[in-house]
Amino acid sequence: MYGTTTRALALTWTAIGFLTFAACGHGGKTPAPAAVDALFAQWNKAGSPGCSVAVSRNGTVLYEHGYGMANVELGVPITTGTILAAASISKQFTAMSILLLAQRGRLSIEDEVSNYIPDWMNHESHVTIRHLLTHTSGLREGFMLLGLAQQNVEENVNEAMVRVLARQRGVNFAPGAEWQYNNGGYNLLGSIVKRVSGQSLRDFAEANIFRPLGMKNSQFRDSRGLIVPRVASGYVIDGTGVHPNSWTPGVVGNDGLYTTPRDLLLWEQNFEDVRVGTAEIVAAMQRPAVLTSGKTTGYGLGLFLGEYRGLRTVEHSGGDRGISANVVRYPDQKLAIALLCNSDSINPILLTHKLTDLYLGDVLGAPSDSDGPAAAKVTLKESELAGRAGSYHVTSDPGLADLQVSVREGKLIGHSFYGGDQDFDLIPTDATHVRAPGPATLEFVPAALGHPPEWHVTGELGSLRGVLQQQATFRPTAADLRAFVGDYRSPEILASYDIVLRDSDLAIQPPGGAEARLHALGRDTFAGTGYGVLRFLRGTRGDVEGFSMNRSNLRGLRFDRFRQAE
């Protein structure tokens, strides 16, 4: 799900007038157009990318408008007819395609993926189509595997994905045991549609979804050379200005949908007035998956199932370089909002929440902690900040998830090589607790007899859960480091990596790429930006025989040593 944050717009409610009326007994009002326009004012100008938005109630469009530029260089504005990339919103259309094939008896979602991929190597894990649909497959993230393979797949990304996933002998977890968002799994579903139906996902969706629903401006862009009329360019905004993005189309299943907000509203109405699929299919899409533990997830089949300020939501967002998007439906209020933007610097979830506040303000509950302002900050002394810094690791086996805590400019900063490889603020809320991104709170527990300092995680912080314990600083000798130097190869991605000595550090050298320094976390454990946590593996005689590469969404990828340094 898209996770980029952006600065919230300040609204002065008393300065905006509203035209309000009750809506079918479900609550809701229709704000003046100026109130909606105010949310997009900062982008609605020459030289800026922007958004296209549409809102409907009971299937009737209440408002639609375009803001900003579809093409900044040429000064072409975004209109209601501009085609924009929808990124991961694509997944629900891939899910519907699979379910339509199941309805026609062409497959079953309980079938194992290996039934449709003849060269699938891992028959022990029994990954099913349902597992792919619900993000519970445990498959390693395919796009990361392709990146590590350093292969120039260009136009054949979708087929390359099938090949690299088919070669995997391990999984991140037993299928059905955990929920983990997986783009590669949905890309694989797109290929299964093609193999079963004999049509590309583009052609299948056009014939069976878009055309029947009258979505005349929607298509899967499955070729980088495909011309899409009226399509918006994508842009990245940074401290130096607005820049065209370098994103390459052609990937479908998890991505690849190009559409308009009005077309998305036609799709949303299909959940209320079923024209494509059946009532059973749309109900199944909106039913949360159940893990083998009995715990339910917040995801159905291609859809996130949640709530906003007490109201049920069915939604999916999307983001990539130069893309941000969200479509949300409030089934009890019969309201749907579709938002497509051509910059990844725009937060679509924040904007759809603000639109919800305008249209459903009379029935919304009080904001939760995650909806409203962050908890009040407290100031810690320098000694207190320093006492919390260090390298922490989860205490559960295999103990690879890490949390690196540092102090910069008087602030606590977190980082996880195993997790998202991004810095994030740890904001003190009292003497022992900090707030982290998302619904996560960390409690600092000082050292005591029998254990070093710890962080106890409550809520979800990516891969970090439970207890994280501080590790003693490990400084390997030059002789220690030389034992790891050599060439290593992974048969699962068909790529070789070198481990080399650089000054007093190890570095990992990918094929044809820039090397990255490795930081020692323990005797045989190192971490590097972009590569997660590397655990070196020793044979019965103590010699280093290989290593496993470990990230939250790519665990246990094995590299075997085939040549030792001279």
DSSP notation for 127-186: -BHHHHHTT-S----HHHHHHHHT---GGGHHHHHHHHHHT----SS-TTS-----HHHH
pLDDT one-digit tens code per residue, 278-314: 999 999 999 999 999 999 999 999 999 999 999 999 9
pLDDT in tens, 319-347: 999 999 999 999 999 999 999 999 999 99
Model confidence at 566: pLDDT above 80: no
Residues, the chain, total?
Answer: 566
CA 354/CA 102 separation, integer angstroms = 38
> Which pLDDT band, with edges at 50, 70 and 90, does 205 fall under?
very high
Candidates 1.20.950, 3.30.70, 3.90.550, 2.40.128; correct CATH number of 382-470? 2.40.128
Q: Report yes or no: 218 and 260 within 8 Å, Cβ to Cβ.
A: yes
- In the prediction, which pLDDT does 463 show? 79
What integer pLDDT is reported at residue 373 of this predicted model? 45
The percent of residues above 70 in pLDDT, for the chain, comes to 91
> pLDDT tens, 377-401?
789 999 999 999 999 999 886 778 9
Residue in 332, 440, 370 with CA at minimum distance from that of residue 25: 332
Any idea where the domains of the chain sit in the sequence? 85-360, 382-470, 478-564
Q: What is the pTM of this model?
A: 0.91
What's the rounded mean pLDDT across residues 229-250?
88
What CA–CA distances, in Å, run from 460 to 33, 39, 439?
38, 30, 6
Of 70-84, 182-196, 408-422, 450-464, minimum mean pLDDT range = 450-464
Longest CA–CA separation in the chain, Å: 80
pLDDT in tens, 21-64: 333 335 668 999 999 999 999 999 999 999 999 999 999 999 99
Closest to 218 in 3D by CA, of 275, 264, 274, 249? 264
Smallest CA-to-CA distance from 315 within 273, 264, 357 is with 264
450-486 residue pLDDT tens: 889 999 999 878 778 889 999 988 899 999 999 999 9
Residue 555 has pLDDT above 80, yes or no: yes
CATH number of 85-360: 3.40.710.10
Question: Same fold for the domain at 85-360 and the one at 382-470?
Answer: no
CATH number of 478-564: 2.40.128.50
Asked whether the predicted pLDDT for residue 370 surpasses 70, the reply is no
Instruction: Choose among 436, 445, 430: nearest CA to 464.
Output: 436
Label residue 19 by pLDDT band (50, 70, 90): very low
Show Cβ contacts of residue 317 under 8 Å, excluding neighbours closer than 6 positions: 1, 2, 88, 89, 304, 324, 325, 326, 327, 348, 349
- Asked if residue 303 lies in contact with residue 316, where contact means CB atoms within 8 angstroms, the answer is yes
Q: Which residue has the higher pLDDT, 155 or 389?
A: 389
pLDDT of the residue at 369: 57
Query: Average pLDDT, stretch 494-519?
Result: 93
